[in-house]
Amino acid sequence: MPGASRPGAHFRVDFDDATFAEDLEHTSSDTGRELAQRERDNLTAEGLPPDQLKRCDTEARDGTSLLGCVKIYIPRPDGTWGMVFQLRIASDRRPFLACLAFGTRHPTSPGALSVYQIAHQRIHGQPPRR
Amino acid sequence: MASEPHVTLSGDIVGEYIVKDRRPNGELTLVPDTYPVVVPEYDGRPATAEEFAAFEAEYGPFLPADGEG
């Protein structure tokens, strides 16, 4: 485990270009896409402190299981969209947050997936059981 | 970047589809929407539950889960 206690420290945040592009393609709102890109730029430059991150649920009411993940709402602190991150250990043994998904928290279109369902599917390789 | 139109079919064929082509006579070309397809590729490995707790001790606690997901 690296270092001693570091209150106020920020986690590095990484994005996978292909998954981020896929999520933007499936975001119907121009505002949502702009906010996501702006948030990505900010997080890549500045990282995130833990007191701005919410734990995800191991067993959420929508059937998703996001053990070891945290999230933010966009716009912060309680916006319509969300980003889900997985806490990972890099090969240099440093912790970082890997963005798993961007999307809407509460989709209204029939068949549309929530950001949690997208993240769940990317972790588990299949949709959540309801 | 504009997203492609999306439709939900019900009837003999059921499911989510993306409209790839839309002709003047109304004919549509649909492909199944299999989103999400892409699996993210990241360095390293997911933190274990013990590491997750240890990082909270080191960096400070995360905000509690809210049951939403």
ipTM: 0.88
- pLDDT tens for residues A12-67? 999 999 999 999 998 989 999 999 999 999 999 999 999 999 999 999 999 999 99
pLDDT for the residue A55: 97
User: Which residues form the domain of B43?
Assistant: 6-59
- Please check whether residue B7 is in contact with residue A30, taking contact to mean a CB–CB distance below 8 angstroms: no
Mean pLDDT of chain A: 92
Strands A81-89 and A69-74 come out as antiparallel
Alpha carbons A113 and A61: distance in angstroms, whole number = 15
Q: What part of B 4-63 touches A (C-beta under 8 Å)? A: 4, 6, 8, 15-16, 33, 35-49, 51-52, 54-63
Q: Is residue B68 part of a domain?
A: no
Q: Is residue B15 part of a domain?
A: yes
Nearest to A68 among B37, B43, B52 (CB): B52
- The model carries a pTM of 0.88
pLDDT greater than 50 at residue A3: no
Burial of A23 (0-12, 13-18, 19+ CB in 10 A): buried
Percentage of residues in chain B having pLDDT higher than 70: 96
Q: Is residue B17 part of a domain?
A: yes
Alpha carbons A66 and A122: distance in angstroms, whole number = 10
Determine whether the interchain pair A87/B51 forms a contact, defined as Cβ–Cβ distance below 8 Å: yes
Pick the residue with more confidence: A6 or A125? A125
Which CB contacts under 8 angstroms, 24+ apart, belong to A104-113?
A: A104/A27, A104/A32, A104/A80, A105/A73, A105/A80, A105/A81, A105/B68, A105/B69, A106/A80, A109/A28, A109/B6, A109/B8, A110/B8, A111/B6, A111/B8, A111/B15, A111/B16, A111/B33, A112/B6, A113/A26, A113/B35, A113/B36
Buried b (16+ CB within 10 A) or exposed e, B3-23: eeebeeeeeeeeebbbeeeee
One-letter amino acid of B41: E
Q: Is residue B55 part of a domain?
A: yes
A111: left (phi over 0), alpha (psi -120 to 50) or beta: left
The DSSP letter of residue A79 is -
Nearest to B36 among A88, A89, A121 (CB): A121
Q: What part of A 67-96 touches B (C-beta under 8 Å)? A: 67-68, 70-71, 82, 84, 86-91, 95-96
pLDDT for the residue B3: 65
pLDDT for the residue A2: 42
Q: Is residue B18 part of a domain?
A: yes
pLDDT for the residue B44: 97
Strands (E), A38-90: 54-55, 69-74, 81-89
- With cut-offs at 50, 70 and 90, classify the pLDDT of residue B4: confident
- With cut-offs at 50, 70 and 90, classify the pLDDT of residue A4: very low
Determine whether the interchain pair B62/A1 forms a contact, defined as Cβ–Cβ distance below 8 Å: no
Determine whether the interchain pair A50/B60 forms a contact, defined as Cβ–Cβ distance below 8 Å: yes
Q: How many residues does this entry show for chain A?
A: 130
Looking at the structure of chain B, the number of domains it has is 1
Q: Is residue B1 part of a domain?
A: no
- pLDDT tens for residues A63-119? 999 999 999 999 999 999 999 999 999 999 999 999 999 999 999 877 789 999 999
